[in-house]
């Protein structure tokens, strides 16, 4: 009872914020849900539905038609009772109750009414900012291409999620080369390629045929990073053996591209990543290298996997480039202790939040508890939502505050903190650290 009382008091004290959301996919043209589909079919909920037997596995398209939204919602509805136990379903209920005053189960008989309510609220001027304030979030960071005309700059700051040089794709072995070719062909920051084997892979207008082409493409990529970018969000795959690669080895691997396999994949990614880091460190040291870790492709979506060899390679990369600020989004809870020990000793490395397969209350609480015991609050960021709408940013902010409050309350009871210092720790990891580490600013 004492734990619950203290936790409630801490959570209440944290409600006004402030928080900074360091990684989202919010789009300036539709910051809030456009309809029920944007809430109900968030990709994490889709994975829950798949586990309950729903046959629709894919994500919604970027701008779904009314017909696509209708078909997908009606396919999902029979499986909603089967996911009532999950924390994503809890997040969904939080959104519907707190933001739309909707407390009924969503059914075939009423979903159109709820959809109408959500669409009507989306048309309200200032609705996005209202939800952001209610969440206690002062500002959110999203992908640069989602900035559009800059109309939401007062609420948003930006990261460059463009090319992924260290990401593995299911059944591909030249992903790093193709990602670089895509960016080189586009010439200016654009939307990233989606993950998954069904993603279209158009033929770029520029092709990498030599090591010199790699250098020219990377020069162009780094030069194209605009000044309003805080970080460049990428991924480091555990399937790739990151290794020292010289120019002759890279040239030889390029000649084998038509029959590339795992060995060539590792050479391409290792060489391109290292050359990218050299340029970032020399030319754009103000840009943080943010990266995700521990989610690897399946035929649809990803699963949490991470090897110790990857963590060793990561430590070597971070140590080799002290002029780059690295920040990790972790999706594999078992690696949290190792990453904390790396961050304790390498001053250019920090940890942020609970990404994808870690964003469940059990793992959020575990990760918070371990990090607060092992790592300075100045080297960890306590929240990011990874949300596509402000509604999901709100739900995730509430869940994180609740889990953080439980951890802090337990530490107050055991005498590690008093209430004042617990609240100070919360402010540090939710607000001060992202402001200092990333350069995020309140609106």
pLDDT of residue 194: 83
CATH code, residues 131-438? 3.20.20.140
Which among 110, 178, 190 is positioned nearest to 147, based on CA atoms? 190
**What are 395-437's pLDDT values in tens digits?**
999 999 999 999 999 999 999 999 999 999 999 999 999 999 9
End-to-end C-alpha distance for the chain, whole angstroms: 38
pLDDT of residue 300: 82
Q: Answer whether 0.85 is exceeded by the pTM.
A: yes
What confidence category does residue 198 fall into, taking pLDDT thresholds of 50, 70 and 90?
A: low
pLDDT of residue 197: 56
User: What span, in angstroms and rounded, lies between the C-alpha atoms of 220 and 214?
Assistant: 10
Give the burial string for 421-437 (b: 16+ CB within 10 Å, else e): ebbebbbbbbbbbbbeb
User: 33-126 and 131-438 share one CATH topology?
Assistant: no
Mean pLDDT over 270-291 rounds to: 98
Q: Is it the case that residue 199 has pLDDT exceeding 90?
A: no
Domain range annotation of the chain: 33-126, 131-438
Q: Which fold has domain 33-126?
A: uronate isomerase, domain 2, chain A (1.10.2020)
Q: CB-side exposure of 306: number of CA atoms within 13 Å?
A: 24
User: What span, in angstroms and rounded, lies between the C-alpha atoms of 117 and 96?
Assistant: 10
Q: What is the mean pLDDT of the chain?
A: 96
User: What span, in angstroms and rounded, lies between the C-alpha atoms of 397 and 394?
Assistant: 5
């Amino acid at each position: 009872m004492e734990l619950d009382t203290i936790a409630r008091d801490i959570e209440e004290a944290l409600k006004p914020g402030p928080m900074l959301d360091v990684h989202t996919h919010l789009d300036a043209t539709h910051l809030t849900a456009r309809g029920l589909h944007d809430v109900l079919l968030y990709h994490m909920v889709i994975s829950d539905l798949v586990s309950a037997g729903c046959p629709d596995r894919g994500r919604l398209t970027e701008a779904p038609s009314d017909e696509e939204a209708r078909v997908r919602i009606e396919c999902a509805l029979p499986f909603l009772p089967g996911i009532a136990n999950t924390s994503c379903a809890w997040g969904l209920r939080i959104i519907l109750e707190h933001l739309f005053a909707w407390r009924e189960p969503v059914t075939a008989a009423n979903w159109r009414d709820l959809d109408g309510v959500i669409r009507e609220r989306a048309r309200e001027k200032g609705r996005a900012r209202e939800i952001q304030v209610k969440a206690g979030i002062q500002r959110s960071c999203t992908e640069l291409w989602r900035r559009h005309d800059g109309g939401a700059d007062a609420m948003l700051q930006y990261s460059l999620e463009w090319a992924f040089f260290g990401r593995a794709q299911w059944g591909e072995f030249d992903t790093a080369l193709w990602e670089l070719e895509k960016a080189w062909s586009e010439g200016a920051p654009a939307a990233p390629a989606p993950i998954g084997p069904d993603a279209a892979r158009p033929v770029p207008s520029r092709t990498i045929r030599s090591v010199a082409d790699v250098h020219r493409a990377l020069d162009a990529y780094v030069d194209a990073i605009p000044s309003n970018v805080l970080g460049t969000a990428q991924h480091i795959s555990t399937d790739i053996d990151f290794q020292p690669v010289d120019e002759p080895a890279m040239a030889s691997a390029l000649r084998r591209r038509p029959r590339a396999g795992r060995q060539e994949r590792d050479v391409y990614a290792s060489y391109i990543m290292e050359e990218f880091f050299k340029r970032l460190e020399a030319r754009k040291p103000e840009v943080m290298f943010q990266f995700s870790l521990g989610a690897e492709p399946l035929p649809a979506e990803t699963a949490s996997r991470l090897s110790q060899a990857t963590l060793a390679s990561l430590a070597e990369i971070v140590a080799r480039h002290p002029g780059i600020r690295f920040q990790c989004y972790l999706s594999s809870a078992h690696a949290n202790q190792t990453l904390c020990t790396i961050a304790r000793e390498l001053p250019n490395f920090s940890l942020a939040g609970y990404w994808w397969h870690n964003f469940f209350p059990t793992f959020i609480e575990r990760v918070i508890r371990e990090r607060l015991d092992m790592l300075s609050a100045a080297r960890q960021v306590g929240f990011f939502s990874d949300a596509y709408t402000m509604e999901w940013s709100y739900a995730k902010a509430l869940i994180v505050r609740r889990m953080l409050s439980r951890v802090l309350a337990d530490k107050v009871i055991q005498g590690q903190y008093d209430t004042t210092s617990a609240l100070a720790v919360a402010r540090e990891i939710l607000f001060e650290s992202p402001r200092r580490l990333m350069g995020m600013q309140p609106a």
